[in-house]
Amino acid sequence: MLDLSQLQNKRIVVLGLGLTGMSFVRFLSNKKTYNALNFAVNDSRSSHAQFEEFKRDYATIELVTGCWDSRLIASAEILLVSPGVDINQPEIADNIADNCQVWGDIELYARLKQTPCVAITGSNGKSTVVNLIHHIGQKLGVKTQLGGNVGVPVLDTLDTEPELLILELSSFQLETLTSLTPIVSCMLNLSDDHLDRHKSIENYGEIKQRVYQGAQYAVFNRDDLVTKPTSELAAVSFGKDSPAANQFGIIETTRGKFLALGKQALMPLSQLTISGIHNATNVLAALAIGQLLKWPLDTMLEALASFEGLAHRCQAIASNDDIFWINDSKATNVGATVAAIEGISSTIGAQQQLILIAGGDGKGADFSPLKAVIDEHVSQLFALGKDKAQLLALSEKSQAVESLEQAVELSRTIAKSGDVVLLSPACASIDMFTNFAERGQTFVDAINNVKEAS
């Protein structure tokens, strides 16, 4: 454990002043726990909404913006790094002193406090799984708290005492994490994402494997064996196939497909409140984690009935036109969109069209895995955004659009009753929107405007 006195008289530099950066600042400025204010803040951006708040509330603290400041970085004994900051870029890496410690907010939290926790990572499905565990835990009367990529920054929760901290961890957070000791860690899947930062899928996978460091138990995906821990850990697996004893999967019965533990049928897929095979495997991952936490299986299954799913993640949008509009704006990489197409196509009839809206900033990803699923399942693709040309090249069934509103308008002209229109971009939103939530809301608003006009 880290004694707060060990931070005193250390030269500390915070890199990045977004949500996490501001949580660092609040922690370091809290005179109840930290008496020697000896830190500075550096952000490469010239302007950001947080800068004015910082200058107003922390006027005496040094803030350097517009570049990565080699003087500040070289002076640091401790670098506190926001997840969005790539510490491997030369402007930072070449100036870090040999004796400097580099921590993210999860690492600092883990050094300060040993809260019982579970840690979940993966390219897709993280938010669904952590929210499932949070929901199930609350139904069981467990005092759970979300952290990491969801909820409030973990440093803002230091004064709370949850029974279980449920962490959604990105590869960016795992890069600086060494001290966490989860009860259960889980890597859900791995697909091309953030290769503009991590350079190769192999390096990305190695970073994701760090989720298993310090864990008591592991949960991994049998359908994606790169998720299996490379270290020796007691492990439970989940997958779409019929499972072996004490593993989770899906079985065929005379009454249809069921979630299963070994040969034991647990719940029909038709009763799940979130649709698609990909979401069924998310549920299986949550059940496997819950079982390792020693939560009663029957009570967990009861809790699933009241889980409503997440906004912008395969979210059905109500309409009066008999078209099924699905907002999957949170699908910011190719793997997420492949999973959405395959998951949704498995639930619709052969006569129903699946119309896909995709595109944005691909972050250097390889789009080729989309080709086969588009050929097999998609009737029409509307592509927009920075990397739309790469999507258009995948299929002759594609058309460029200039906006989401235009994509919705054109989708409605070709969709008939019972057809599905899926927004699942396979790309980040930053080329056209503030974030995926704004993109999703724009899609919803366009649908509503179509309804009002009809």
Check whether residue 376 and residue 345 sit in a common domain.
yes
Reference 348, options 281, 418, 421; nearest CA is 418
Note whether residue 292 is domain-resident: yes
What is the CATH number for 376?
3.90.190.20
What three-state secondary structure class fits 228? coil
- Reported as type and span, the H/E element at residue 252 is strand 248-253
Is residue 244 a contact partner of residue 265, using CB atoms and an 8 Å limit?
Answer: no
Check whether residue 259 and residue 159 sit in a common domain.
yes
Cα(22)–Cα(18) distance, integer angstroms: 6
Q: For position 199, what pLDDT does the model report?
A: 59
Note whether residue 337 is domain-resident: yes
Check whether residue 195 and residue 282 sit in a common domain.
yes
Which of 273, 304, 335 is the C-terminal boundary of a domain?
Answer: 304
Reference 204, options 285, 149, 282, 122; nearest CA is 122
Range of the domain at 365: 315-453
Which of 304, 333, 363 is the C-terminal boundary of a domain?
Answer: 304
Note whether residue 309 is domain-resident: no
- The partner residues of 63 in beta bridges, in order of sequence, read 41
Cα(223)–Cα(339) distance, integer angstroms: 12
Neighbours of 303 (CB within 10 A): 19
Supply the DSSP symbol for 282.
Answer: H
Is residue 259 a contact partner of residue 294, using CB atoms and an 8 Å limit?
Answer: no
Check whether residue 178 and residue 40 sit in a common domain.
no
Cα(329)–Cα(443) distance, integer angstroms: 9
Q: Find the helix packing angle between 105-112 and 19-28, rounded to 10°.
A: 40
CA-to-CA separations, 174 to 48, 67, 188, 197, in angstroms, rounded: 25, 25, 15, 13
Reference 422, options 357, 364, 349; nearest CA is 357
State residue 448 phi and psi, 5-degree precision. Answer: -65, -40
Is residue 437 a contact partner of residue 329, using CB atoms and an 8 Å limit?
Answer: yes
Check whether residue 287 and residue 172 sit in a common domain.
yes
Reference 171, options 151, 145, 192; nearest CA is 192
Note whether residue 169 is domain-resident: yes
> Angle at the Cα of 199 (from 104 to 17), degrees rounded to 5?
30
| Catalytic site residue from 95, 126, 279, 333 | 126
Q: For position 422, what pLDDT does the model report?
A: 96
194 is a catalytic site residue:
yes
Q: For position 78, what pLDDT does the model report?
A: 95
CA-to-CA separations, 379 to 236, 341, 350, in angstroms, rounded: 38, 11, 11
CA-to-CA separations, 296 to 96, 108, 136, 137, 165, in angstroms, rounded: 48, 33, 10, 11, 19
Check whether residue 295 and residue 343 sit in a common domain.
no
Check whether residue 224 and residue 334 sit in a common domain.
no
Cα(55)–Cα(217) distance, integer angstroms: 45
pTM for the structure as a whole: 0.79
Check whether residue 157 and residue 92 sit in a common domain.
no
Cα(267)–Cα(280) distance, integer angstroms: 10
Check whether residue 170 and residue 42 sit in a common domain.
no
Cα(370)–Cα(360) distance, integer angstroms: 15
Q: For position 31, what pLDDT does the model report?
A: 67
Q: Which amino acid is at 189?
A: N
Q: Which strand ranges, in their side-by-side order, compose the sheet holding 62-65? A: 62-65, 39-43, 12-15, 78-81, 101-103
Check whether residue 77 and residue 206 sit in a common domain.
no
386 is a catalytic site residue:
no
149 is a catalytic site residue:
yes
Per-residue pLDDT in tens (0 to 9) along the chain, 454 residues = 676 667 878 899 999 998 899 999 999 988 665 555 689 999 999 988 889 889 999 999 999 999 999 999 999 999 999 988 999 899 999 999 999 999 999 999 999 999 999 999 998 888 899 999 999 999 999 999 999 988 789 999 999 999 999 999 988 899 999 999 999 999 999 875 555 554 577 888 889 999 999 999 999 999 999 999 998 899 999 999 999 999 999 999 999 999 999 999 999 998 888 877 888 999 999 999 999 999 999 999 999 989 977 778 888 888 888 899 999 998 998 988 998 898 888 777 788 999 999 999 998 889 999 999 999 999 999 999 999 999 999 999 999 999 999 999 999 999 999 999 999 999 999 999 999 999 999 999 999 885 444 4
Check whether residue 49 and residue 114 sit in a common domain.
no
| Catalytic site residue from 131, 134, 189, 194 | 194
What is the CATH number for 198?
3.40.1190.10
Check whether residue 158 and residue 189 sit in a common domain.
yes
- 68-77, long-range: CB within 8 Å, 24+ apart, which pairs? 68/15, 68/42, 68/44, 68/92, 68/95, 69/42, 70/94, 70/95, 72/13, 72/40, 72/42, 73/13, 73/15, 73/42, 75/11, 75/13, 76/11, 76/12, 76/13, 76/100, 77/10, 77/11, 77/12, 77/101
Q: Which amino acid is at 335?
A: G
Reference 302, options 90, 74, 138, 107; nearest CA is 138
CA-to-CA separations, 189 to 192, 212, 221, in angstroms, rounded: 10, 14, 7
| Catalytic site residue from 131, 149, 221, 282 | 149
Cα(310)–Cα(141) distance, integer angstroms: 21
Q: What total of structural domains would you count in the chain?
A: 3
